[in-house]
Amino acid sequence: MAVSAATLAAATSTFAQPEPPDARAKAIVDQMTPDEQLIMVKGSFGWFSKSGDAVIAAGWVPGIKRLGLPSLRESDAGMGVANLMGKRTGDVATSLPSGLAVAATWDPDIAYRGGAMIGSEARAKTFNVLLAGGVNLVRDARNGRNFEYAGEDPLLSGVMAGQAIKGVQSNHILSTVKHFVVNDQETGRNVLSSRIDEASLRESDLLAFELAIEIGQPASVMCAYNRINGVYACENDFLLNKVLKGDWAYKGWVMSDWGSVHSAALAANSGLDHQSGYTLDKKPWFGAPLKDALAGGSVSRNRIHDMNFRIVRSFYATGLMDNPVPITPQAIDYASNAKVSQEAAEAGIVVLKNKGNILPLVLGARKVAVIGGHADVGVLSGGGSSQVRPVGGPALEIVPKGAAAAFARITYFPSSPLKALEKRYPSSQFTFNNGDDVAVATALAKDTDLVIVFANQWATESEDLVNMNLPDNQDALIEALAAANKKVVVVLQTSGPVAMPWLDKVAGVVEAWYPGSNGGEAIARVLAGDVDAAGRLPVTFPTAATQLPRPEIPGLIEKKNSKGEISYGLDYGLKAFDVDYNIEGANVGYRWFEHQKLKPLFPFGYGLSYTRFTYSGLSLDPSNSLQVNFTVKNAGKRPGIATPQIYASVPGRDGVRVKRLVGWQRVTLKPGETRSLTVRIDPRLLANFDVANQRWKVAAGAYHLVLGKSSADSSATTTVQLSELSIAP
C-alpha cells in the first residue's frame, strides 16, 4: 500500500513526539475534581515534620496518585543538595563553590555543568525539585546572601543563573529562579519595601530574571519576602501577572518563598500559584481560605485551573512525568562530582594583586608559614537554607553568635588548603599557626620565607554583614604580618567584597570566595599555577561602605541578648520600612561607580592572569551592526584564560552616559596564540525602558563600544551608529 509522505510524517510525529506539555497538562487538570484542584497549590515546610512520602528537607507538596501526579520533594539550593544543620541524619552532598564564585568563572558551561551535577545528586536522593537559581543582584556588598547570587550585572547574572538552572533541569527535575524580586538585603526582608521606579527595575533586577528565565526555562519562579513599592512580592499583580506572565509569557508556576504569603484571594488573583511551607505563614492561605474564596466568588474556578495547569505543565516541560525520580536513593559518584566542583572553584578564584609575580608560588625548600582561617582543616561555606552538609562531614562547625545560632553553623568543608599545599610542595617546610595570637603569628612570619594568610568572612541567610571589614581582628593580623614579612599572600574566603586596609602592604591577594567541596585543592592549584588564575570579579569591590549607594544598611538594628552579645539585622520586631533603590536605580555596581565618578578598590570584571594578553582590533561586523569582532593574543609565556569584555557606553534616562556590559568571551590560549572572537549584542542591553509606551527603546545615535579587561579598562574602542529601535518587553 502506498503511503503518502504527509501521512507518514504525521504518523511518525504522533509516535515519536509526545504531545506538547500544554496539551498534556490541560488533559490532566481537566480531570481533576474541584477538591483535587486544591491539593497541589499548597506545600508544607519539611525540616521539622514529615508528611506522606516526604524526605526531611525544605518542602513537600502532595501529589495526586489517581492522575499519576507525583508529590514534590523540594530541596534547597544553588550550591548543592542542602541539609540544614544535618537534620537529615547522615546525608551528605557535593557542594559547588558559592554562586559568586561560579559567576566569577564567567563560563556559562561551568555554570551548566555545576547545575547538572547538583541536579543529578538531587535526583539520586529522590528530590524532584531543587530550589536553585538565585539571581538577586548584588546591590549591597553586605547583603548576607550575596554568596548565593551571581553578581551585580544583569547580563552576567542572567546568563550564569540561567545556565545553572538549565543544568539542574537537564536531570528532568524542576528548578526555580529566585527571589522575585529586589530581595537585595536580608535585614528586614519580611517587612521592608524596595522602592524603585519601573524603568530602573526593568533595566536591572528584572532584566537579570528575564534573561535567566529565557535561558533556563525554570519550572518555577519563587516570589520574595519583601514588598516592592509597597506591594508584597507574592501578591504583586504588576510583577506576577503583568510582567512575568504577561510581557514575558512565562508558562511555569509562581511559588512563594517560605513564609511570604499574606492573603488568599489577593495573592491568587495577583498571580501566586502555590503557597510553599504554609505553616510558616499566619494562615494556610491556599488551604481553607482559598476554598472559601472560591466558594464566595472572589477567586474564579479558571484561576484555580490555571494554578494547577502551570504546575502540571512544568512537570511535562521538564520531562519529570516521563522520567520520574527514583523511589529510593541511588548511589552517587562523589569523587567525580567533587571534580566538577573543583573545576568551578579553580576557574572562579580571582587573583587581585600579584606584586613582583609572587604567584604562582615557587617554593623549593623554603619555609612557608600558613596562618589563620582554619586552613589546616578545611574551607568555609555560607550559612542558611542553602547550607550543604559535605561528604566526609563538616571539618569544623562553630555556633555563630546571635540569632543565626538557631538555624546555622559556621561550617568548614573537609578540604584543607594547608594539606593540599603540603602535598603539592613536598620539599617545602610548612608551619601552621591559627592566627589567634597576633604576636605569636608575627614571630612565625618573621622567621619564614613566605606567609600565606587565610582571612575569612562568614555570611548567612537572614542577616546582613554589619560592615565590609574582615571580622575577628583579621585586618590587624594581616597588617602585623605584612610589617614582619615582605612576602605575604592573603587568601580571602568571603561572601563578597571586603575592604582591604592593608592592600598596599601585602604582595599578593587572592579571592577564593566560598570554594566548595574541593576548595582546598582548588586554592592550592591556583596558588601553584597548575591552572591559570582565570577568575574575574562579578562584583565591584568598593574601598569602603561609604562608596555604596546606602552607606548604612537601612533598618539595621543592634540587639543585645541577656549575655550582652550583640546581633544585627534579624527582622523580628522590626516595623515596615523602605529601602530606597532609586538612589542608584538601574546603575547597580560598576555603573554606580562610573555615574558617581568613584574609584573602587577593584573594578567589576577585574582579575589578573598568570600570562599577559593583548586585546585589539575591535570592529563592527560588516553584516550586523550589533555584532563586534576583535582579537585576543596571549603575549606571555604561559598558557592562560582570557575573558575579554565588551562594554557599551549608553546614555541613561538622566542623559548621563554609563558603561554597560554587553557581552564577553572566555578563551584558553597557548603562549603566542591569537584568536579572533565575536560578541553579539542583545539590543535590550543598549535600551532604556520607556514606561509610557511599555517598550524597550534604543535611542538613535552613536554608541561607544569598549573592549576591556574589566569595566575600568579600555584596550580598544569603536563606535556604532544606530537608528532608533523599539522592542517589546
Distances (CA, A) of 629 to 617, 675, 718: 7, 11, 10
Binding mask 300-339 for ligand BGC (x = CB under 6 A): ----------------------------------------
Q: Are strands 350-354 and 508-511 parallel, antiparallel or unpaired?
A: antiparallel
Q: Name the minimum Å distance from CB 405 to ligand BGC.
A: 16
User: Residue 258, interface with ligand BGC (CB under 6 A)?
Assistant: yes
Task: Let me know: does 131 contact 218? Beta carbons within 8 Å.
Answer: no
Cα torsion at 19, 25, 30, 36 (round to 10°)? 150
In angstroms, rounded to a whole number, what is the distance separating the alpha carbons of residues 311 and 21?
Answer: 11
Pick the closer one to ligand BGC by CB: 175 or 269.
175
Q: Name the minimum Å distance from CB 501 to ligand BGC.
A: 33
Pick the closer one to ligand BGC by CB: 189 or 536.
189
Q: Record the cell numbers describing residue 445, joined without a space.
A: 612570619
In angstroms, rounded to a whole number, what is the distance separating the alpha carbons of residues 221 and 312?
Answer: 14
In angstroms, rounded to a whole number, what is the distance separating the alpha carbons of residues 143 and 496?
Answer: 9
Q: Name the minimum Å distance from CB 385 to ligand BGC.
A: 4
User: Residue 58, interface with ligand BGC (CB under 6 A)?
Assistant: yes
Pick the closer one to ligand BGC by CB: 385 or 711.
385
Single out the residue of 54, 64, 69, 76 in contact with ligand BGC (rule: CB under 6 A): 76
In angstroms, rounded to a whole number, what is the distance separating the alpha carbons of residues 144 and 516?
Answer: 18
In angstroms, rounded to a whole number, what is the distance separating the alpha carbons of residues 161 and 174?
Answer: 14
Pick the closer one to ligand BGC by CB: 258 or 703.
258
Cα torsion at 709, 341, 88, 150 (round to 10°)? 10
Degrees to nearest 5, angle at CA 443 with 438 and 445: 90
In angstroms, rounded to a whole number, what is the distance separating the alpha carbons of residues 571 and 565?
Answer: 17
User: Residue 257, interface with ligand BGC (CB under 6 A)?
Assistant: yes
Pick the closer one to ligand BGC by CB: 130 or 608.
130
Pick the closer one to ligand BGC by CB: 41 or 608.
41
Pick the closer one to ligand BGC by CB: 144 or 600.
144
Q: Name the minimum Å distance from CB 386 to ligand BGC.
A: 7
Of residues 666 through 695, those in contact with ligand BGC by CB under 6 A are none
List of residues 6+ apart from 619 with CB closer than 8 A: 628, 629, 630, 718
Q: Name the minimum Å distance from CB 335 to ligand BGC.
A: 28
Q: Name the minimum Å distance from CB 302 to ligand BGC.
A: 29
Q: Name the minimum Å distance from CB 463 to ligand BGC.
A: 12
Helix ranges (H only) for 359-446 are 417-424, 438-446
Task: Please state whether 720 falls in left (phi above 0), alpha (psi between -120 and 50) or beta.
Answer: beta
Q: Name the minimum Å distance from CB 93 to ligand BGC.
A: 15
Q: Name the minimum Å distance from CB 258 to ligand BGC.
A: 4
DSSP for residue 266:
H
Degrees to nearest 5, angle at CA 448 with 444 and 449: 155
User: Residue 385, interface with ligand BGC (CB under 6 A)?
Assistant: yes
In angstroms, rounded to a whole number, what is the distance separating the alpha carbons of residues 615 and 396?
Answer: 45
Single out the residue of 24, 113, 142, 178 in contact with ligand BGC (rule: CB under 6 A): 178
Helix (H) or strand (E) holding 21: helix 21-31
**Residue of 447, 438, 451, 444 whose CA lies nearest to 375:** 451
List of residues 6+ apart from 160 with CB closer than 8 A: 102, 103, 106, 108, 111, 150, 151, 538
Pick the closer one to ligand BGC by CB: 131 or 641.
131
Q: Name the minimum Å distance from CB 99 to ligand BGC.
A: 12
Binding mask 77-96 for ligand BGC (x = CB under 6 A): x-------------------
Pick the closer one to ligand BGC by CB: 131 or 161.
131
In angstroms, rounded to a whole number, what is the distance separating the alpha carbons of residues 137 and 149?
Answer: 7
Total residue count of the chain as it appears in this document: 729
Pick the closer one to ligand BGC by CB: 179 or 536.
179
Q: Name the minimum Å distance from CB 461 to ligand BGC.
A: 6
Using CB under 6 A, count the residues that bind ligand BGC.
9
In angstroms, rounded to a whole number, what is the distance separating the alpha carbons of residues 177 and 221?
Answer: 5
Q: Name the minimum Å distance from CB 179 to ligand BGC.
A: 6
Q: Name the minimum Å distance from CB 219 to ligand BGC.
A: 14
Pick the closer one to ligand BGC by CB: 139 or 179.
179
**Residue of 172, 183, 182, 243 whose CA lies nearest to 213:** 243
Q: Name the minimum Å distance from CB 87 to ligand BGC.
A: 12
Pick the closer one to ligand BGC by CB: 58 or 641.
58
CA 496 to chain centre: 11
Q: Name the minimum Å distance from CB 411 to ligand BGC.
A: 16
Distances (CA, A) of 119 to 95, 129, 241, 517, 553: 11, 9, 29, 16, 35
Helix ranges (H only) for 280-405 are 288-296, 301-317, 334-348
User: Residue 351, interface with ligand BGC (CB under 6 A)?
Assistant: no
Pick the closer one to ligand BGC by CB: 131 or 677.
131
Task: Let me know: does 604 contact 710? Beta carbons within 8 Å.
Answer: yes
Pick the closer one to ligand BGC by CB: 521 or 571.
571
Q: Record the cell numbers describing residue 96, joined without a space.
A: 559547588
Pick the closer one to ligand BGC by CB: 76 or 121.
76
Rg of the chain over Cα atoms, rounded to whole angstroms, equals 26
Q: Which residues bind ligand BGC (CB under 6 A)?
A: 58, 76-77, 131, 178-179, 257-258, 385
